[in-house]
Structure 1
């Protein structure tokens, strides 16, 4: 569609390069959007500030929601480096419960684990194979804003050679993560009324590396301040299949103890309490302990403003129920692409803008009510007494936990599901999509 396909700058100085869509950030959200847009015939420029492969802080676990999106993207996941899992194992309150992923027509009955070290590269390569132009080591510094209209009309970036480059497009996608420099530049800042989490993780050589269940520990105790406090969050053990396990924990900010927690110390204490034969020792640790923020429940809005669309962590799209971000990043990329393709086919600026303004509405329809329920859940588990009661009396109830798995992982049939599906879907529809 664009008259000038984006090419790398040559020579010294500043160049203006054009595309139909500029996507800033080649994580799951940005690459997914690039795949769908490029397959629809748009000229897509995908800008990534680092180079692949690269390490990202993540649990590396993919639920059936994410697996469905990978299939839609045409990403093969049967080769080396992928390990399938059958469901979720929950540990807490003296109970060890294995819950298979629900059998649904809308989602596959298995999850996956793949390290982010090359998972993001696989997605970016898929975008490139579909026709998007990927430019690595390109650091976007700020949006280009039309002084007459106030609309974003591109970005200013520094290329791998240190030169400044201007890229122009009628639409820019902010897939630039939790800090989202582009969003901040437009005054779209984080909302204090939405939950935030912190995740820390590392890898250990372990005989558990081929475990076919994702494992979640629901009781995290911290001794900060001389007393034991039950924290809102969970620990995880995900077998990676390469001789190592991804071991980490995620904590929510719904308790007063959040600011005082030493996450790395807590992770070390927790892993030291594990059975010796699992190998979660300093001698077996591979790589550093790294942490990252988890922006949840639409903690940055609006998701569209003046030619800029937000996807993934830039729009705070992590599920408040379980801290899952990849599935929603991939889905948001597809939603953004659908809206963008429709908008850019319109003949005038006014009709394009009306189509683009639908994006926040589509996101609210898809996730708004469910995320509202998730924010309520976050407040509830911030109460230590509720957490103690839930783990002690809830975990032994297998039917209740099957319901909880569907609820927390957002795995229901949209229609014609069972009674659990109808209850969860009904609650999501009735909850206000704020």
Structure 2
């Protein structure tokens, strides 16, 4: 690619060194391909997320050769105004894992696998029939794993905008803070408040994460005060670190492939964090994209299969959460424990 300014060549260039990008790098190395990862931030990288690995996600993480420390999670508990719907996983526990612990383990595994990680940001993406280049690296394929606000998605002409543009669905955002307090449960508690949901995930013997999902302008302390059961649990506990934010939590792409560019993980499209399945789906995409590097249509089909169920379930829950039906979600789960349990089991796979 004359004129692309590349000073390094490889088979696969991964833009974004978060968990999904690192997983894609490991998958590509296992396939015998040379891999360069562009990530300007130093490891480990933190992110506002729920930090709960569902049982199926834990299996996928272990398949990558890591087993990060954390707290066992044995089910999900929906809670609202004294109403409680609990379901325990049928196929073994998941695990609450600090995002930094997960990232550190994946980063080390990618380096051990032989991937090269460069502290660079993606720049203009230049591609032709033979390859693609950005930030001084030329590759046969470029994997855009650079998250919700993906530059690769924009550079490849695959941007479709976020929720709220041409759609009635409102934008939602995430906030997360940890508290130094012993876990009081081995379930992920989901507290449904008037405007936001709080995901409570134990991640260590003395540390619990609280992630809030809500509309623009959501304030952590204000929303926590609307959840008296949870507020009482963490009252007096020392916060561990600042409140972190992320969003908007719904972005779309027009397609997942453009020439030699492939979008993976949040960059490829994201509905919402309400079901907690973003990481499992992202890991499935990382595996699929490496298996279909020479087959863009095959990757599109694999991406659709990996995301279809979560997209449908999440879209339904988000629609309910943003509507007058919001206050009926937990009572409905209490009245129909079989249906609620079936949904949890589908998401836990």
User: Closer, same or farther in 2 for the Cα pair 1:87/1:393, shift >3 Å?
Assistant: closer
Structure 1 residues 321-336: aligned runs within 5 Å: 322-336=275-289
Q: CA deviation at 1:33?
A: 0.9
2:225 aligned counterpart, secondary structure: helix
Distance 1:214 1:50, change over 3 A: same
Equivalent residue number for residue 314 of structure 1: 267
Question: Displacement, 1:323?
Answer: 4.1
- Name 2:86's counterpart in structure 1: 98
* Distance (whole Å) between structure 1 residues aligned to residue 107 and residue 134 of structure 2: 20
Aligned partners of 1:269 and 1:15: how far apart in 2?
53
Unaligned runs of 5+ in 1: 1-13, 104-108, 157-165, 222-230, 252-257, 344-354, 412-434
2:305 equivalent among 358, 362, 365: 365
Unaligned runs of 5+ in 2: none
1:23 and 1:377 mapped to 2: Cα distance? 32
Rounded to whole Å, the distance in 1 between the matches of 2:182 and 2:139 is: 50
How many matched pairs? Answer: 340
> More relative contact order in 1 or in 2 (CA 8 Å, sep 6+)?
2
Q: Which residue of 2 aligns with 1:205?
A: 180
| 1:256-303 deviation per Cα after TM superposition (whole angstroms, max 9, x unaligned) | xx34x4333434424676464x3334x61121111101544x722300
Q: Provide the rounded CA distance (Å) in 2 between the counterparts of 1:410 and 1:294.
A: 24
Residue by residue over 1:281-340, the C-alpha shift from the partner in whole angstroms, topping out at 9 and shown as x without a partner, is 4x61121111101544x7223001111100111112456651431111111111111112
1:127 corresponds to: 110
Question: Which residue does 1:33 correspond to in 2?
Answer: 24
Deviation at 1:247, TM superposition (A): 1.1
CA contact (8 A) 2:45 2:99 kept: yes
Once residues 102 and 313 of structure 2 are traced to their aligned partners in structure 1, the CA distance between those partners, rounded to angstroms, is: 30
What is the TM-score with the length of structure 2 in the denominator?
0.88
Say which SS state the counterpart of residue 395 (structure 1) adopts.
helix
Alpha carbons of structure 1 residues 246 and 270: separation in structure 2 relative to 1, 3 Å:
farther
Contact 1:39 1:131 in 2 (8 A): no
Please state whether the residue corresponding to 2:58 is helix, strand or coil: helix
CA contact (8 A) 1:49 1:140 kept: no
Note if 1:114 corresponds to 2:97. Answer: yes
Identify the residue that residue 352 of structure 1 maps to in structure 2: none
Question: Paired residue for 2:241?
Answer: 287
Q: Secondary structure at the match of 1:187?
A: coil
1:395 paired with 2:349, answer: no
Cα distance in structure 1, aligned partners of 2:137 and 2:221? 44
Query: Quick one: structure 1 residues 380 and 211, their matched pair in 2 at CA, closer, same or farther if it must change by over 3 Å?
Result: closer
1:392 counterpart SS class:
helix
SS of the equivalent of 1:88 reads: strand
Counterpart secondary structure, 1:120: helix
Deviation of the 1:110 alpha carbon: 1.1
SS at match of 1:240: strand
2:334 pairs with 1:381:
no
For residues 17-416 of structure 1, what are the structure 2 equivalents within 5 Å?
Answer: 17-77=8-68, 81-103=69-91, 109-135=92-118, 137-146=119-128, 153-156=132-135, 166-191=136-161, 192=165, 193=167, 196-208=171-183, 211-218=185-192, 220-221=193-194, 231=195, 233-251=196-214, 258-259=215-216, 261-270=217-226, 274=230, 276=232, 278-281=233-236, 284-293=238-247, 295-296=249-250, 299-317=252-270, 322-340=275-293, 343=294, 355-368=295-308, 370-384=310-324, 386-407=325-346, 409=347, 411=349
Contact 2:188 2:202 in 1 (8 A): yes
The 1:267/1:287 distance shift into structure 2, 3 A limit, reads: farther
SS state at 1:23 partner: strand
Residues in 2 aligned to 1:378 and 1:200: alpha-carbon distance in whole angstroms = 17
CA RMSD of aligned residues (A): 2.5
Shift of 1:205: 1.2
The answer to whether the 8 Å contact 1:142/1:155 transfers is: yes
**1:95 touches 1:396 (CA, 8 Å); kept in 2?**
no
1:238/1:245 contact within 8 Å kept: yes
Q: Is the CA contact (8 Å cut-off) linking 1:143 and 1:152 kept in structure 2?
A: no
- Change over 3 Å in CA distance of 1:234–1:279 after alignment to 2: closer
1:25 offset after TM fit, Å? 0.8
Aligned 8 A contact 1:195 1:320 in 2? no
Report the Cα offset of residue 369 of structure 1.
5.5
Q: Bigger radius of gyration, 1 or 2? A: 1
Alpha-carbon distance change, 153 to 139 in structure 1, aligned in 2, over 3 angstroms:
same
Aligned to 1:349: none
